[in-house]
């Protein structure tokens, strides 16, 4: 990584934003979310960070190499999105807190910002060392269709929400970590589960608008998701 402390002061305050996930496979929901947040907040880049073994959900169906290959193909059309393979390279369980700790050691006091869909945000209290996440990064929460963000948050998360919620994005540059900011984006009701299921049932054509064409071509040529595995669930990604 090259963006440590020797950069200009302005650059040094620009948050490094991360979107973690299984990306099994990546789809336009992920890509537009990351791109919209990047544009709305004026970030130079957003890193997509595929997990190796997600701790609290079924393992990915596609291999890490295939998921990275699809991400690499997908970000070609999205300048400003980059693929960060550190969790795949590390292997084992991918705890976001470990990833953020390592990144923090690399970037010094530069702000870090973790992008989370509202579904992932709600599941946060089950993440490994969840309170420490706020010491390491800001959270940027993106509403997902069908979920009212503030309704029935788990109590320990509601407390964090009350203490840390900011309404000005300047807070994301003013400190290295610790705020929760909500960034609405145009909803894209797409899930990887839906894509895997369509491919498994021989209906890959029906998802042509949901993933970049080069990703669909990769899925077909590598025969990904052609077998049902019984691992498809809508469980929340919790790392
Ligand atoms: P699966 O169906 O396998 O759970 P998914 O589509 O939910 O996959 P993940 O890899 O689990 O994708 O999601 C990674 C991150 O992207 C999470 O923070 C999730 O909330 C967010 N996300 C996924 N899809 C969308 C979408 N369509 N719109 C907004 N955020 C999304
Ligand atoms: Mg999910």
pLDDT, tens digit, for every residue of 142-186? 987 777 777 789 999 999 999 999 999 999 999 999 999 999 999
Name the strand (E) or helix (H) holding 142: strand 138-142
Q: How far apart are CA 168 and CA 79, in angstroms?
A: 26
Q: How far, in Å, CA of 121 to CA of 111, rounded? A: 19
Out of 123-127, 144-148, 205-209, least confident range: 144-148
Question: Closest Cα to residue 110, out of 173, 167, 166, 37?
Answer: 173
User: Best mutation site among 17, 20, 21, 144 for ligand 1, i.e. most ligand atoms within 8 A of its Cβ?
Assistant: 21
Nearest ligand (C-alpha, residue 121)? 1
24 lines ligand 1 (CB under 6 A): yes
CB-based contacts of 56: which residues, under 8 Å, 6+ apart?
Answer: 123, 126, 127, 235, 236, 237, 238, 239
Q: Is there an atom of ligand 1 within 6 Å of 193 CB?
A: yes
Band of pLDDT at residue 230, cut at 50, 70 and 90:
low
Q: Which of 122, 237, 238, 239 to mutate to test the pocket of ligand 1 (most atoms within 8 A of CB)?
A: 237
Q: Is the CB of 33 under 6 A from ligand 1?
A: yes
Question: Which ligand ends up closest to the CA of 27?
Answer: 1
* Closest C-alpha residue for ligand 1 atom 30: 117
Q: Kindly state the average pLDDT of the residues 41-59.
A: 91
| pLDDT over 90, % of the chain | 78
For the CA of 145, the closest atom of ligand 1 is 28
The overall average pLDDT reported for the chain is: 91
Write the DSSP symbol of residue 114.
E
Exposed, middle or buried, 96 (CB in 10 Å: 0-12/13-18/19+)?
buried
The better pLDDT of the pair 6, 24 is held by 24
3-state secondary structure of 97: helix
DSSP 174: H
- The answer to pTM > 0.85 is yes
180-182 β-sheet, strand order: 81-83, 46-50, 16-21, 112-117, 138-142, 180-182, 165-166
Q: Whose CA is nearest to atom 15 of ligand 1?
A: 21
């Amino acid at each position: 990584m090259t963006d440590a402390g020797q950069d200009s002061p302005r650059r040094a305050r620009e948050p490094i934003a991360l979107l973690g996930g299984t990306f099994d496979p990546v789809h336009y929901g992920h890509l537009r979310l990351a791109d919209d947040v990047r544009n709305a907040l004026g970030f130079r880049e957003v890193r997509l960070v595929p997990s190796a073994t997600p701790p609290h959900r079924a393992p990915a169906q596609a291999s890490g190499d295939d998921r990275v290959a699809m991400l690499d193909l997908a970000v070609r059309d999205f300048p400003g999105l980059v693929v960060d393979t550190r969790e795949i390279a590390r292997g084992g369980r991918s705890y976001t807190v470990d990833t953020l700790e390592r990144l923090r050691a690399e970037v010094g006091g530069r702000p870090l910002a973790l992008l989370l869909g509202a579904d992932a945000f709600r599941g946060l209290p089950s993440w490994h060392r969840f309170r420490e996440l706020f010491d390491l990064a800001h959270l940027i929460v993106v509403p997902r269709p069908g979920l009212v963000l503030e309704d029935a948050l788990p109590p320990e998360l509601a407390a964090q929400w009350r203490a840390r919620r900011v309404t000005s994005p300047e807070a994301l540059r003013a400190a290295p970590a610790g705020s929760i900011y909500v960034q609405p984006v145009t909803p894209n009701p797409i899930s990887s589960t839906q894509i895997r299921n369509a491919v498994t049932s021989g209906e890959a054509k029906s998802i042509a608008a949901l993933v970049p064409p080069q990703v669909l071509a990769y899925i077909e040529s590598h025969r990904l998701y052609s077998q049902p595995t019984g691992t498809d669930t809508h469980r929340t990604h919790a790392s």
